Amino acid sequence: MRVNHILGALLVATTIGIGGTTLSAPTTAQAKAKSSLTTFPKNMRGTWYHYEENKGYYYKSMKFSAKKLTVKNYFDAYGRKKSKRVMTLHAAKSSLNYRQGLSNKKFKQHLVSAFAANGSYTQVTPYGFLATDGLGKYKVIHKTYKGKSVKVLYNNLNDDHFKVKDHFYQTKAQAKYFNPVGALHK
């Protein structure tokens, strides 16, 4: 009789333990999905080039390191060409609440946040009034260049305000090869 009670208690404890673990795992995963990334993904790190024509031909470049994003030769929200902006990765609770924990002095610095998005994309959000430099949903894809597979950083930003589909390549030669006429957002 006593053995039956012990086995019954063990069975109940095992069932509750497994059920409790199963129920708590999705809650943790959901919390992680809403918070920002602490570093940029490793496959995005490095320098990426885009060749385009807008009032002249030029190369636009983005350099991702673990905690910094450098954008060169970009256009701001007013259509003015800017030479360089370096932004530091800032951890935020959500893309809607990115100012949390920032004082006004700290907010004047160039900051950016990154969030995991659907379809293995990384949503990059720069801070500031009408900040567009580096804004986008990025994903590393592959294209064939001279018979070899090369990595391509694909920006597929499609929201209410902006519709951008840019490809960034690992070398300037690749950028010009895939976009020889420098058409905008090809």
CA dihedral 121, 79, 60, 85 (to 10 degrees): -80
Whether residue 184 lies inside any domain: the answer is no
pLDDT attached to residue 109? 61
Q: Which domain holds residue 6?
A: 1-33
Average pLDDT, stretch 169-178?
92
137 and 49 within one domain: yes
Domain count, the chain: 2
154 and 120 within one domain: yes
51 and 25 within one domain: no
Whether residue 185 lies inside any domain: the answer is no
Please indicate whether residue 176 or residue 35 has the higher confidence score (pLDDT). 176
Location of structure tokens 């001279």: 146
19 and 97 within one domain: no
Cβ atoms 173, 150 nearer than 8 A: no
90 and 117 within one domain: yes
Please indicate whether residue 129 or residue 181 has the higher confidence score (pLDDT). 181
48 and 28 within one domain: no
Strand partners, 89: 112
